[in-house]
Amino acid sequence: MRSARLAAALAVLAASARAAAPAPAREIALKTRDGWTLAALYRAPLPGRPVIVLIHGVGSSKNEWAPLSERLAAQGVGALALDLRGHGGSLQGPQGPRSDQDFDAAGEWPRALEDPLCATRWLKARGIPAARVAFGGASIGANLASQAAAREPRAPFLLLLSPGPDYRGVVLRPVPGVRTLAAAASGDAYAFSTLAPLARSGAKTLEAPAGHGTQMFADTATLDKIEAWIIAASKNPRAP
């Protein structure tokens, strides 16, 4: 009888665990207001948990976020990793196929702010309110994430990997009202120069041993610290 009760209890626990398991990653397509079709990889959160919109650097793709987004999914935090316009699967622009090769000359980079804002609207349309949509970015993606958070001040937290004062016309925007972690390697002088002013605006800062943007994930200790900070921020977003 005791073994039967134990087996039944274990079955209930297993069923609960399966019910609480985060949804697997799936490919989605987004349409920006200025006519780009964006590819993205979405991992839904557990009920009541946040989603972080992840923005890569120049010449990269949504796949650079896999080491972090997989860890977050195991903790119930969702992620929506974008292919920015002109990258990866996001090559269909308003006038047809286009890559990022002419973005500097055309002044396209600042307009890429629309990409994370489009992701935010997509999430809101699916019942995830602004207070549960966070932002994270690497390199120029960090600067775009900061600008998105400035537009969406209810964001629960903001992750900045190797932000710079100005990447290709995309200026870094400190967002004092949003809980922020900024990380950079001391050998990455341009990005590292942002940590002190960001700290003065209230951000927590992290010095990585090496790497730029998501390259810092190669150091497991750095990735551990970033994951732990995000999990803590997702539970108490307004703490310092």
Helix (H) and strand (E) counts in the chain: 8, 12
CA pair distance 208, 196, nearest whole angstrom: 14
Query: Which phi and psi (to 5°) does residue 108 adopt?
Result: -80, -30
| Tokens 């009888």, residue located | 1
Strand partners, 61: none
Alpha-carbon Rg for the chain in angstroms: 19
Helix (H, G, I), strand (E, B) or coil at 37: strand
DSSP string, 136-157: EEETHHHHHHHHHHHH-TT-S-
Say yes or no to pLDDT of 211 above 90: yes
What structural domains does the chain harbor?
Answer: 23-235 (3.40.50.1820)
What is the predicted pLDDT for the residue at 6?
A: 39
H-helix or E-strand spanning residue 94: none
CA pair distance 14, 8, nearest whole angstrom: 10
Instruction: Read off the pLDDT of residues 33-47 as tens digits, 9 standing for 90 and up.
Output: 999 999 999 999 999
C-beta of residue 54 within 8 angstroms of C-beta of residue 108: no
Higher pLDDT, 214 or 236: 214
Closest among 100, 87, 83 to 41, alpha carbons compared? 83
Strand partners, 41: 27, 81
Instruction: Tell me the two tokens of residue 171.
Output: 């200026």
Instruction: Read off the pLDDT of residues 81-99 as tens digits, 9 standing for 90 and up.
Output: 999 999 999 999 999 999 9
Instruction: Read off the pLDDT of residues 128-139 as tens digits, 9 standing for 90 and up.
Output: 999 999 999 999
Closest among 192, 201, 134, 187 to 162, alpha carbons compared? 192
Closest among 216, 43, 25, 225 to 138, alpha carbons compared? 216
Side chain identity at residue 9, one-letter code = A
Whole-prediction pTM: 0.90
Closest among 36, 53, 24, 72 to 122, alpha carbons compared? 53
Instruction: Read off the pLDDT of residues 62-83 as tens digits, 9 standing for 90 and up.
Output: 999 999 999 999 999 999 999 9
Say yes or no to pLDDT of 7 above 60: no
Instruction: Read off the pLDDT of residues 152-173 as tens digits, 9 standing for 90 and up.
Output: 989 999 999 999 999 999 999 9
Say yes or no to pLDDT of 183 above 70: yes
What is the predicted pLDDT for the residue at 24?
A: 79
